[in-house]
Each structure stands twice: as structure tokens, then as C-alpha cells.
């Protein structure tokens, strides 16, 4: 059958209209025949709303993409070419707990590389591994493109606990950094090239080029002298300590603030939680508003309000990734893949976020040698956290979960780790069947 079959698991997400828009825009080069939006019963209403909007969008655009809505994942996966995952096990309410419980103990929740991220991983990894098992059976040659956070930990788990090699973890942080740098320098994005290396939400821009010329020092200088501009909408632009950025000499990502400015970020989160609720609560409101818009039967385009959401450009960039694989475009994109020697101090078989050439055979990581000495420790610490957490998720092992929690750089002691862990295991127990033996 000609044309591409795409399956989006978590299709009821508020991001989906951007994905649909991306496929519409690229239709000539990337002929999507079917786009299956899959969700769980708890998300059915959203799925119907988003699905209806998607159908209106393709109709208005006049492209023959067949939008299919289903709760039957296995049915959808049959003979898929690309599977994207943007799931949220436990919905936004679970994320609220991921953020709130740690805050009670004076600890940042951080839903990706922090204590919250540990729990998001514990809930998500078993489901993703199940999807991998289904794919082995139903569409073994398809690519799995995962947007679900914690994307680094999830990619690590897939690489380590399944035989699937066609997996790519995807994140919009590097795209945001590139846009920020372009804007700081006042040049067009297309002229900017950044050497990205590190882990998901722990990625550095080690060199910045404009038209092939290395301008890293210039960018560092600019970063020091003004509000950085390189940030995500969901992380406060607190500004870096000028001399620290100069000392670092490379570009941190917005999430680095949690680690290099822990105290300030914590203070801010506590204040914000008091005032507006946690980030998840804010997102929940934004989402409710978005869905209200989506329900409008007159709406047949992606509403511009979607861009305010933290994940802006996520789906756009994901379309671009699929486009490059399908058409063997061989452009350079930073994604999460098996390291394979690209970063020296990370094991070959671990996931890293690194510039890759995107070919029809998949992403091939560019060798970056070693990271600067000063950042190797933090990167290794997050990698250790991800590996122990992934193992805990797969085995449902209480002690591994405690170990992951304690070695997380945001957690200030073994005692606090245990308190947070115990409360969160209890709070999330419906989504953590693998820990059932422990929590009862």
C-alpha cells in the first residue's frame, strides 16, 4: 500500500493538532496515508475532541490523510511505519502529585530528571516496554519515536530491556536553544549550528557556529550580559550568574538551572506553587482552555494559543524527524539514541542526546569525543540516576527506587529520599502494579 502509516499513542494529547499541521504542511514529500490516534479509555473524550479537529484540519487542507481514532492499540499498530508515543500515565493529576509531594519535603519535583521524573519513569516505562513488545509482533520494522518524558530514561529502558534498536527519544529543548541563540545573535536560525551533547534535559551546546565560524565565546559573552533568551516557556528566565557562565564556557540548557541554581529554583517553585499552583496545575488550566477551543466545530487549523504550551515545536520537530528518515535527508538533528562511542565517558550501550545525521537507516550519532571535565560529573550523575531508575521500573524493586531517589542531585538526604519515595509509591500505587508487593 502506498503512503505512510503513522500511529500516535496518546493521540488525545493537546499537542496533536501541531502534529497534524506538520503532516499537512509536508504532505507532498511525506505522504501520510493514515494517521491513527490511539488513547486509553480515560482519555477517550479528549481523543474524540482532538480527533474531530484533526479531521476538520485535513479536510480544510485538502490532503487525503485518513484520520483514525481508536482505543485498541494493537489494532492500530498493525503494519505501522512510524509509532510516536506521547502518553501520560495517570494523566495530569499524576504529574501534580509528582511536583507537589517533593515540594512538601522542600525538594523540587522536576518531572523529568528529578524525584517527579523518577515516578513518571516508574509509571511510564512498563507501558512503553509493552508497546515495544506489541511492535515486535505487529510492526517490527517501524520506528518508535518517543516524546514521552522522561525521554532519556525511557530511551535508556528501551535500549537496555528490549531488543528494539529502531527507537528515538525526542525533545524540543535543543530546538529552543538554537532559536534562542539565533535570536541573541540576530541571525537566521538556518545559519546557526550547535554541537549538542549530553543527556535529555541535561544537554550542552559545546560549540556554536554561524556560517561555519565558531562563535561560542561571543554567545557566552552575550549570555552573560543580558537576560539569556535561551529558555523554555515552562522554566523561569532567572538569569545565570554571569561569571559562572563564563567559567563554564559552554551553553547550558534551561533544565541545567535545576542543578546549578537549585536553591533559587526551589524558592521560586515554592512561591509559584503557593500563588498559581505547580506547573502541572497551570498546564491543566491551559489544557482545559485549549480543549475548549478544540471543541469549536468551526476551528479547522492549529490554534495559535497552542504555542504557549511548554512543548512548543515538539510535534513540528517530530514531523521533521520523520520526514528526514523517510526521505533520507541526512540533515543533523539532536536526538536521544544509543551512544555507540559518540560521548567518551558514557557507556556505548546507554542513551545520549547528541547531534545525529538522520538517514533512512536511522540517526547516526556524530562523535564528539569527551565532554568538558567540569560537566562530566553532573552528566554521569543523571545517567546513573536514569539507569538505576529504569532498572527499578522494570523490576519493581523498592531498594533500587530508593537508590535512584537518593542519588538524584536534587534530593538532599537519604532520609528525605525515603520519605518522598514512600509517600509517592502510595499516592501512585494504581499506576505502579510492579511495586504492588511492596506498597501493600
Closest separation between CB of residue 183 and a second copy, Å?
21
- Least Cα distance to 201 among 172, 230, 180, 221 occurs for 172
Shortest distance, position 430 Cβ to a second copy, whole Å: 23
Q: In what order do the strands lie in the sheet with 332-338?
A: 66-70, 32-38, 4-9, 82-85, 143-146, 167-169, 332-338, 351-359, 192-199, 202-210, 213-214
d(CA 70, CA 10): 11
Phi and psi at 110, nearest 5°, equal 45, 100
Which is closer to a second copy, CB of 163 or CB of 413? 413
353-392 residues in contact with a second copy (CB under 8 A) are 355, 357, 359-361, 364-370, 373-378, 380-385, 387-388
Among 243, 274, 437, 440, binds a second copy (CB under 8 A): 243
209 binds a second copy (CB under 8 A): yes
Residues 6 or more apart whose CB falls under 8 angstroms from that of 40 comprise 71
Active-site entry in 15, 161, 255, 431 = 255
Instruction: Compute the distance between CA of residue 144 and CA of residue 8 in angstroms, rounded to an integer.
Output: 10
Told to judge if 255 belongs to the known catalytic residues of this protein, a careful annotator would answer yes
Indicate the residue among 16 and 339 with the shorter CB distance to a second copy: 339
Q: How many CA atoms lie within 13 A of 405 on its CB side?
A: 31
Q: Any binding-site annotation on 319? A: no
CB nearer to a second copy: give 148 or 355.
355
Rounded Cα gap, residues 326 and 320, in angstroms: 10
Cα 77 to chain centroid distance, Å, stands at 22
Positions in 327-356 near a second copy (CB under 8 A): 328, 330-332, 339-345, 348, 355
Pick the closer one to a second copy by CB: 369 or 433. Answer: 369
Largest CA distance in the chain: 60
How many residues are there in the chain? Answer: 440
| Options 193, 302, 323, 428; binder of a second copy; rule CB under 8 A | 193
Residue 140 binds a second copy, judged by CB under 8 A: no
By beta-carbon proximity to a second copy, the closer residue of 13 and 261 is 261
| Residues in region 401-440 near a second copy by CB under 8 A | 402-404, 406-407, 409, 412-418
Say if residue 149 carries a ligand binding annotation: yes
Q: Kindly state the number of chain residues that form the binding site for a second copy, as judged by CB under 8 A.
A: 73
Query: E strand or H helix at 198, and its extent?
Result: strand 192-199
| Shorter beta-carbon distance to a second copy: residue 377 or 433 | 377
Minimum CB separation of residue 184 from a second copy in Å reads 19
Instruction: Quote the DSSP letter at residue 110.
Output: -
Is residue 171 a known part of a binding site? yes
Beta carbon of residue 296, minimum distance to a second copy (angstroms, whole number): 41
Residue 182 in contact with a second copy, rule: CB under 8 A = no
Consult the annotation and say whether 201 binds a ligand. yes
Nearest to 112 by CA among 336, 382, 318, 327: 382
Using rule CB under 8 A, residue 264 touches a second copy: yes
Peptide bond into 278 cis (omega under 30): no
Our CA angle for 67, 7, 11, nearest 5°, is 70
- Does 139 sit near a second copy (CB under 8 A)? no
Annotated binding-site members for substrate: 95, 149
Return the active site residues.
255
Annotated binding-site members: 95, 149, 171, 201
Amino acid at each position: 500500500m502506498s503512503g505512510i502509516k503513522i500511529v500516535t499513542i496518546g493521540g488525545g494529547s493537546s499537542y496533536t493538532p501541531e502534529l497534524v499541521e506538520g503532516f499537512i504542511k509536508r504532505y507532498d514529500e511525506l505522504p501520510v496515508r493514515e494517521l491513527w490516534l490511539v488513547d486509553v479509555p480515560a482519555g477517550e473524550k479528549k481523543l474524540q475532541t482532538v480527533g474531530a479537529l484533526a479531521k476538520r484540519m485535513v479536510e480544510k487542507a485538502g490532503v487525503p490523510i485518513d484520520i483514525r481514532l481508536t482505543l485498541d492499540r494493537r489494532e492500530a499498530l498493525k503494519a505501522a511505519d512510524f509509532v510516536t508515543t506521547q502518553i501520560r500515565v495517570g494523566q495530569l493529576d499524576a504529574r501534580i502529585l509528582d511536583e507537589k509531594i517533593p515540594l512538601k519535603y522542600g525538594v523540587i519535583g522536576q518531572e523529568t530528571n528529578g524525584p517527579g521524573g523518577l515516578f513518571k519513569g516508574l509509571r511510564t516505562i512498563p507501558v512503553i516496554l509493552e508497546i515495544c513488545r506489541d511492535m515486535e509482533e505487529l510492526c517490527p520494522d517501524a520506528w518508535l519515536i518517543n516524546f514521552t518524558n522522561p525521554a532519556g530514561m525511557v530511551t535508556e529502558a528501551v535500549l537496555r530491556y528490549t531488543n528494539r534498536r529502531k527507537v528515538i527519544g525526542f525533545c524540543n529543548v535543543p530546538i529552543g536553544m538554537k532559536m534562542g541563540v539565533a535570536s541573541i545573535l540576530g541571525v537566521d536560525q538556518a545559519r546557526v549550528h550547535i554541537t549538542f551533547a549530553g543527556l535529555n534535559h541535561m544537554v550542552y551546546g559545546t560549540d556554536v557556529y554561524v556560517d561555519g565560524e565558531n562563535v561560542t565565546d561571543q554567545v557566552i559573552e552575550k549570555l552573560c550580559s543580558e537576560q539569556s533568551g535561551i529558555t523554555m516557556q515552562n522554566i523561569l528566565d532567572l538569569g545565570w550568574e554571569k561569571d559562572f557562565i563564563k567559567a563554564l564556557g559552554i551553553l547550558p540548557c534551561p533544565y541545567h538551572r535545576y542543578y546549578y541554581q537549585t536553591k533559587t529554583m526551589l524558592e521560586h517553585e515554592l512561591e509559584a506553587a503557593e500563588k498559581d499552583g505547580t506547573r502541572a496545575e497551570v498546564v491543566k488550566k491551559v489544557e482545559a482552555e485549549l480543549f475548549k477551543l478544540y471543541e469549536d466545530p468551526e476551528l479547522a487549523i492549529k490554534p495559535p494559543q497552542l504555542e504557549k504550551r511548554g512543548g512548543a515545536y515538539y510535534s513540528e520537530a517530530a514531523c521533521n524527524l520523520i520526514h528526514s528518515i523517510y526521505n533520507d535527508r541526512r540533515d543533523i538533528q539532536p536526538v536521544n539514541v544509543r551512544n555507540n562511542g559518540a560521548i567518551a565517558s558514557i557507556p556505548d550501550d546507554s542513551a545520549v542526546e547528541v547531534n545525529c545525521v538522520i538517514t533512512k537507516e536511522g540517526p547516526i550519532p556524530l562523535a564528539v569525543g569527551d565532554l568538558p571535565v567540569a560537566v562530566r560529573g553532573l552528566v554521569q550523575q543523571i545517567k546513573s540516576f536514569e539507569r538505576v531508575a529504569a532498572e527499578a521500573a522494570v523490576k519493581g524493586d523498592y531498594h533500587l527506587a530508593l537508590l535512584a531517589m537518593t542519588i538524584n542531585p536534587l534530593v538532599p538526604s537519604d532520609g528525605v529520599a525515603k520519605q518522598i519515595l514512600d509517600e509517592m509509591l502510595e499516592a501512585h500505587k494504581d499506576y505502579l502494579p510492579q511495586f504492588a508487593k511492596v506498597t501493600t
